[in-house]
Amino acid sequence: MVGFYSHRKTARLRARIGDDALWLLPRLWAYCAENQPDGDLSAYDTQELALLIGYKGDATSMLQALKDCRWIDLDGKVHDWEEHNGYHKKFSIRAKNAAEARWKNARSNASSNANDTQIPPHAPLNTDMEKERGKEDCHKQCLEHQPENGNGREDIRPPASRPASSELSASERITREKELKRVEATLDKLFQRASDFGLTQDEKMRRASLKERRQEILDLLGMKA
């Protein structure tokens, strides 16, 4: 990276696309490090690639110039990426495996907790608990049958409290589990970025927010971190 600006390939690219050559390649490398750690851009559409790295000129000319100057190989891979930046791919695989292991462990803990708290089939019922449940059911039925107000609209009901893990429907549980996977994946990317480059203040705030959201979802699902 130190010799990039004085490299003859940079001079050739600059002669083809102008001063955009001075920022385009660092932007391309940064995108690959975060989103395409194997450096293979062969599956990307030309217009899509230009949009992702912020190039506003002719996308076809840009890609052809990159290939002619040998910054991108003819097969669509970043030139010598594996040699100089192969660790990004290794870190990505390591982070993915770690996320899968944590997810498997969380599911296992949730299943174990469910088995530990299961009520035996012949256990005596808690009379006081049943009474409270009866009051709640009665309150819900009363709300459902409230008359409309004078404007022809239903009366505003109090907001429902957050449901416990056992009260989640199958579809709600699936939705929360998918969200948890997305949060875990984003946290893994931020962890990798922190190891490689460090985080900006906004990224640190985002990571803290994601950690809080992950804990909320785990609590909702009855899982342990």
pLDDT tens digits for range 18-42: 999 999 999 998 888 888 888 889 9
Work out the mean pLDDT of the chain and round it to a whole number: 76
- pLDDT above 70: residue 4: yes
Q: What is the pLDDT of residue 172?
A: 85
Q: What is the pLDDT of residue 152?
A: 45
* C-alpha to C-alpha distance for 165 and 172, rounded to whole angstroms: 10
Q: What is the pLDDT of residue 105?
A: 78
* C-alpha to C-alpha distance for 133 and 145, rounded to whole angstroms: 19
The structural domains of the chain, with segments of one domain joined by +, span 8-85, 86-116+167-225
> Cβ of 9: how many Cβ atoms within 10 Å?
16
Q: What is the pLDDT of residue 157?
A: 43
* C-alpha to C-alpha distance for 216 and 194, rounded to whole angstroms: 23
